């Protein structure tokens, strides 16, 4: 087989799948390259909870044989992610592996079945490589994982290991979950693409909940195209998740209207660092020069109010979820989560109900604002990755869109003054995930992309 030009551990899932489909790349060689990469860098990065080498190798060998059979029969591999390894955040079930959730009592309890999203990805030919590190129960207490760009800075959370594994070249993509900002923020801090679909678009069966009305399954990847492949494989109704929806439920078609109309959310710039403001303003200028129509948006619902509603909702739902488990394992909770749950138990019922009424109002207002644009453009985060001791970062620019269930994507950019990646966020219309992905792909082609973290390649 001829050697691909890009190092195997830097291929996107789409690139690797295309090479596998024409037998220019063996799934076994791809997996071997990723395992060598993990062996070299994992001791310093600690992105993984468990790596399922034996089952992944068996799946890669089976994929290789299946590709050979398909080509001999004059066809192509039967699925779009055939032979592509991926990581799974350790709050999502993989049959036979524990779903640890960063919680000691769960570490020895293997899941009986794959989560819905994992099963669908396997059905598309992808191979589970292992479980990636998470903050405890997808909250804020960080795992030991390190940021590959600067070890003194946070890798973000809660999909910490998934973001680091993709940035470090361990896997082309990995699953994450987002309840406040847990896919997009670690994506931004580690220089990879993060995508959270519309609420319900990817079912949550087999995902340990953080907050039932806010949880989303998303993806950390190296390209927008890989996010599209993830969505195509993982989306769809799931009888195990009553909130899951059919892809046909949402509108489609912003892709037909490229170059896009973008709404630059100036309120989000006001609270961001100077470096982030400059980066997003520069990105807006570049996109406008390439043909996009960029209009300043100043009249959206208050981001601060949206964050407050999201927090009241999440804290009430988490306090309820953990009431029984805390009685069973009172000493296994980490300090920030324990405090959050203790305070959450004191929030009055009227506050939760009032928050849901406000949430409905904001959803209507945001929907009207998005009718005028294909996507909103804003920073993913108010700053670059903070020092490790400062926690996993600020969710104020991701949480409002999680609250409203809107599709959102973080596009990474080359590092700024502190040697840390920058990013912009694009937020789409509810249900128009394909439209958002089309806009994001258009923007990705016209904006500078980050290389790999220094010292790793």
Q: What angle do CA 162, 223, 99 make, to 5 degrees?
A: 20
18 touches other proteins (CB under 8 A): no
Q: What angle do CA 269, 271, 276 make, to 5 degrees?
A: 50
Q: Shortest distance, CB of residue 345 to other proteins, whole angstroms?
A: 7
- Give the footprint of other proteins on residues 98-127 (CB under 8 A): none
Q: Is the peptide bond before 12 cis (omega within 30 degrees of 0)?
A: no
- How many residues bind other proteins (CB under 8 A)? The answer is 27
Measured distance CA(91)–CA(214) in Å, rounded = 15
Q: Is the peptide bond before 333 cis (omega within 30 degrees of 0)?
A: no
User: Which string of x and - marks every residue 204-243 that binds other proteins (by CB under 8 A)?
Assistant: ----------------------------------------
* Whether residue 89 lies in the annotated active site: yes
User: Which string of x and - marks every residue 271-310 that binds other proteins (by CB under 8 A)?
Assistant: ---------------------------------xx-xxx-
By three-state DSSP, how is residue 30 classified?
Answer: helix
Q: Shortest distance, CB of residue 248 to other proteins, whole angstroms?
A: 24
Q: What angle do CA 194, 425, 252 make, to 5 degrees?
A: 80
Give buried/exposed letters for 39-65 (b at 16+ CB in 10 A, else e).
eebbeebbbbbbbbeebbbebbeebbe
By three-state DSSP, how is residue 29 classified?
Answer: helix
Q: Shortest distance, CB of residue 366 to other proteins, whole angstroms?
A: 14
Q: Shortest distance, CB of residue 338 to other proteins, whole angstroms?
A: 7
Catalytic residue from among 33, 154, 158, 223: 158
Catalytic residue from among 33, 154, 159, 182: 182
Is the Cβ of residue 57 or residue 347 nearer to other proteins in the bound state? 347
By three-state DSSP, how is residue 23 classified?
Answer: coil
Catalytic residue from among 26, 33, 89, 154: 89
- Give the footprint of other proteins on residues 332-361 (CB under 8 A): 335-336, 338-340, 342-348, 351, 354-355, 357-358, 360-361
DSSP-derived letter for residue 272 is S
- Give the footprint of other proteins on residues 394-453 (CB under 8 A): none
Phi, psi (rounded to 5 degrees) for 401: -85, -25
- Residues that are catalytic: 89, 158, 182
Which residues sit at the interface with other proteins, rule CB under 8 A?
Answer: 304-305, 307-309, 311-312, 315, 335-336, 338-340, 342-348, 351, 354-355, 357-358, 360-361
């Amino acid at each position: 087989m001829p050697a691909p030009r890009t190092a195997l551990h830097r291929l996107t899932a789409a690139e690797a799948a295309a090479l596998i489909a024409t037998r220019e790349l063996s799934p076994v060689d791809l997996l071997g390259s990723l395992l060598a990469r993990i062996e070299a860098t994992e001791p310093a990065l600690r992105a993984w909870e468990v790596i399922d080498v034996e089952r992944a190798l068996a799946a890669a060998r089976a994929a290789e044989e299946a590709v050979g059979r398909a080509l001999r029969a004059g066809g192509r591999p039967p699925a779009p992610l055939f032979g592509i390894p991926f990581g799974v955040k350790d709050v999502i079930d993989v049959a036979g592996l524990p779903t640890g959730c960063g919680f000691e009592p769960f570490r020895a309890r293997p899941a009986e079945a794959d989560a819905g999203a994992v099963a669908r990805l396997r059905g598309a030919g992808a191979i589970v490589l292992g479980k990636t590190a998470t903050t405890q129960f997808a909250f804020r207490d960080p795992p030991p994982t390190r940021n590959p760009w600067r070890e003194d800075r946070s890798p973000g959370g809660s999909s910490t290991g998934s973001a680091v594994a993709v940035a470090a070249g361990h896997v082309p993509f990995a699953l994450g979950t987002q309840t406040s900002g847990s896919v997009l923020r670690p994506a931004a801090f580690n220089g990879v693409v993060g995508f959270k679909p519309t609420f319900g678009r990817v079912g949550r069966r087999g995902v340990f909940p953080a907050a039932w009305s806010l949880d989303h399954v998303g993806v950390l990847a190296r390209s927008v195209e890989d996010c599209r492949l993830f969505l195509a494989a993982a989306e769809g109704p799931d009888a195990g998740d009553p909130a899951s929806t059919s892809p046909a439920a949402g509108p489609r078609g912003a892709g037909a209207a490229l170059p896009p109309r973008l709404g630059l959310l100036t309120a989000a710039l006001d609270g961001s660092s100077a470096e982030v403001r400059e980066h997003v303003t520069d990105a807006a200028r570049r996109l406008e020069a390439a043909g996009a129509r960029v209009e300043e948006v100043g009249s959206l619902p208050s981001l601060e109010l949206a964050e407050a509603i999201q927090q009241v909702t999440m804290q009430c739902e988490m306090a309820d979820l953990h009431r029984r488990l805390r009685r069973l394992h009172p000493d296994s909770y980490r300090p920030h989560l324990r405090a959050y749950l203790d305070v959450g138990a004191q929030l009055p019922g009227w506050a939760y109900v009032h928050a849901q009424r406000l949430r409905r109002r904001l959803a209507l207002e945001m929907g009207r604002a998005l009718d005028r644009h294909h996507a909103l453009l804003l920073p993913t985060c108010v700053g670059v990755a903070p020092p490790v001791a400062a926690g996993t970062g600020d969710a104020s620019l991701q949480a409002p869109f999680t609250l409203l269930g809107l599709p959102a994507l973080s596009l990474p950019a080359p590092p700024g003054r502190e040697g840390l990646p920058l990013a912009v966020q694009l937020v789409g219309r509810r249900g128009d995930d394909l439209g958002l992905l089309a806009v994001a792909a258009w923007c990705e082609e016209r904006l500078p992309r980050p290389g790999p973290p220094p010292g790793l390649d």
